[in-house]
């Protein structure tokens, strides 16, 4: 363990980066997923086609490719826009944090689109009819009947999406994000100990996965308490 001395704080800050990417990409992923699901469920033909295109592209392309494309692609786009105002600019860098976060949110959001869509369609139509029959308004039905039921249906898959987000964070190290895998590479450069350095990275990610899994299990139990029969 002596070789790890001096690297703990780097790993710690790398973990903080992982957590930051996770939180930001989670928010974006939910937004992308909800927009995608709403578009697929809408009556608008163009919205449906666009949403279908979105899921086909991001579910059919390797994650690493999306990250590379977004990173290098946006850098070039930004540079050429900047050159209109100032021709002296040679190259504008895009922060890997945001390129990566948006990339993995787009990828996992394409899966979340299907999850949210399925959950919306999975709500028992009888419950909705019953709420209408009791005189509840559209909004009330949505808030008190549809959302709680959707939430319960979507949660298991949603938990997997969160795990994907946290694990995909490691891919962003390829474009230079200073998360734990990136830290390990630097540490290996000086210590020449790849095995132990990468194992630490694995353990850190395993820790993140465990926290997410346990939280989802807790939420699931909470969401299903009405399904526990009295027997």
The answer for residues whose C-beta is within 8 angstroms of residue 68's C-beta and 6 or more apart is 174, 175
Smallest gap from Cβ 139 to other proteins, in A, equals 36
Tokens coding 128 = 């909705």
The answer for residues whose C-beta is within 8 angstroms of residue 117's C-beta and 6 or more apart is 36, 37, 40, 41
Smallest gap from Cβ 228 to other proteins, in A, equals 16
Upper half-sphere CA count for residue 120 (Cβ side, 13 Å): 17
Q: Which is nearer to other proteins, 132 or 185 (CB)?
A: 185
Per CB under 8 A, 56 contacts other proteins:
yes
Cβ atoms of 92 and 75 closer than 8 Å: yes
Smallest gap from Cβ 30 to other proteins, in A, equals 21
Per CB under 8 A, 31 contacts other proteins:
no
Among the residue ranges 3-11, 26-34, 164-172, 220-228, the one whose residues contact other proteins (CB under 8 A): 164-172
Q: Which is nearer to other proteins, 146 or 205 (CB)?
A: 205
Per CB under 8 A, 61 contacts other proteins:
yes
What length does the chain have?
231
Per CB under 8 A, 217 contacts other proteins:
no
DSSP reduced 3-state for 175: helix
Rounded CA gap, 3 and 181, in Å? Answer: 17
Query: Interface with other proteins by CB under 8 A: which residues?
Result: 56-57, 59-66, 68-69, 72-73, 76-77, 80, 163, 167-171, 173-174, 181, 184, 188, 193-196, 198-199, 201-202, 205-206, 209-210, 213
């Amino acid at each position: 363990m002596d070789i790890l001395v001096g690297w703990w704080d780097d790993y710690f800050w790398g973990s903080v980066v992982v957590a930051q990417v996770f939180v930001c990409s989670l928010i974006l992923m939910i937004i992308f997923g909800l927009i995608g699901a709403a578009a697929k469920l809408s009556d608008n033909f163009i919205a449906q086609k666009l949403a279908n295109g979105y899921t086909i592209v991001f579910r059919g392309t390797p994650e690493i490719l999306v990250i590379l494309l977004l990173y290098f692609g946006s850098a070039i786009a930004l540079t050429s826009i900047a050159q209109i105002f100032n021709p002296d600019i040679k190259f504008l860098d895009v922060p890997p944090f945001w390129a990566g976060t948006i990339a993995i949110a787009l990828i996992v959001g394409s899966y979340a689109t299907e999850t949210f869509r399925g959950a919306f369609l999975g709500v028992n139509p009888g419950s909705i009819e019953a709420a209408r029959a009791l005189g509840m308004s559209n909004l009330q039905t949505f808030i008190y009947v549809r959302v709680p039921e959707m939430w319960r249906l979507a949660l298991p898959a949603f938990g997997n999406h969160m795990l994907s987000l946290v694990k995909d964070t490691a891919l962003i190290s390829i474009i230079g994000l200073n998360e734990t895998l990136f830290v390990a590479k630097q540490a290996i450069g000086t210590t020449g100990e790849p095995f132990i350095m990468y194992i630490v990275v694995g353990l850190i990610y395993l820790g993140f996965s465990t926290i997410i899994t346990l939280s989802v299990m807790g939420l699931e139990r909470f969401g299903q308490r009405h399904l526990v029969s009295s027997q």
